[in-house]
């Protein structure tokens, strides 16, 4: 899989292997309500404090801030979902083109997906830094592979955003 920038308006991932294309297409699945574990939900919407004396803050947060965050995350998912519907693929490879103005939404959704997946398999620092190819015959291995694939895509987007600053 290669990362390309086409002028200022677009960024693209090209020569995407069909296996990777399938995993990219499945980004929204990691965030569907049916798939989202309570651990993932807790990670996406963390408490604003651990101070036991600040129950009022936690209550206000749940009432007023969390709905705003849910809406913000859903907006990003909608943008990414629309881009994924334009994902072109053949039997051998695929190409994903992303309007540059959607880069922030992609960063956000890739992060949502990585965090949700990590929470589902208790992904820790050790798994992240092992450097070993995960065992793709296990569910955990596939999840770790997806987390790393989405991290690669995030890093490409961050590098591109860095260059535009």
Partner 1 sequence: MATRTTELPETTTETAPALPWNVVVHNDPVNLMSYVTMVFRRVFGFPRERAEKHMLEVHQLGRSIVWTGDREKAELYVQQLHSYLLLATLESATR
Helix (H, G, I), strand (E, B) or coil at 75: helix
Residue 61 or residue 87: which is nearer to partner 1 going by CB?
61
> Smaller CB distance to partner 1: residue 9 or 47?
47
CB of 154 to partner 1, least distance (A): 6
Which string of DSSP letters, residue by residue, matches 101-153? GGHHHHHHHHHHHHHHHHHHHT--HHHHH--SPP-TTSHHHHHHHHHHHHHHH
State the minimum distance, in angstroms, from the CB of residue 52 to partner 1.
11
CB atoms within 10 A of CB 144: 23
DSSP state of 158: H
Chain residues binding partner 1 by CB under 8 A are 43-51, 54, 57, 65, 68-69, 72, 107-108, 111-112, 114-115, 118, 123-125, 127-128, 147, 151, 154-155, 158-159, 161-162
Query: 1 or 94, CB closer to partner 1?
Result: 1
Of 56, 37, 35, 53, nearest to 45 by C-alpha is: 37
Kindly state the tokens that stand for 163: 């260059």
Least gap, CB of 27 to partner 1 (angstroms): 15
CB of 46 to partner 1, least distance (A): 6
When the beta carbons of 69 and 136 are compared against partner 1, the nearer one is 69
């Amino acid at each position: 899989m290669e990362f390309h920038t086409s002028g200022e308006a677009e960024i693209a991932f090209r020569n995407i292997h069909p296996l990777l294309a399938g995993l990219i297409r499945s980004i929204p699945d990691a965030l569907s309500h049916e798939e989202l574990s309570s651990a993932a939900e807790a990670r996406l919407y963390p408490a604003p404090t651990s101070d036991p004396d600040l129950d009022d803050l936690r209550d206000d947060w749940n009432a007023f801030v969390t709905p705003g965050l849910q809406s913000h995350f859903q907006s990003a998912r909608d943008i990414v979902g629309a881009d994924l519907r334009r994902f072109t693929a053949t039997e051998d490879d695929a190409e994903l083109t992303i309007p540059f103005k959607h880069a922030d939404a992609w960063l956000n959704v890739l992060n949502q997906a990585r965090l949700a997946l990590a929470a589902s398999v208790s992904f820790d620092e050790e798994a992240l830094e092992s450097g070993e190819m995960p065992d793709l015959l296990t569910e955990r291995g596939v999840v770790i592979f997806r987390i790393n694939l989405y991290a690669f895509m995030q890093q490409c987007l961050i590098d591109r955003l860095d260059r535009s600053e």
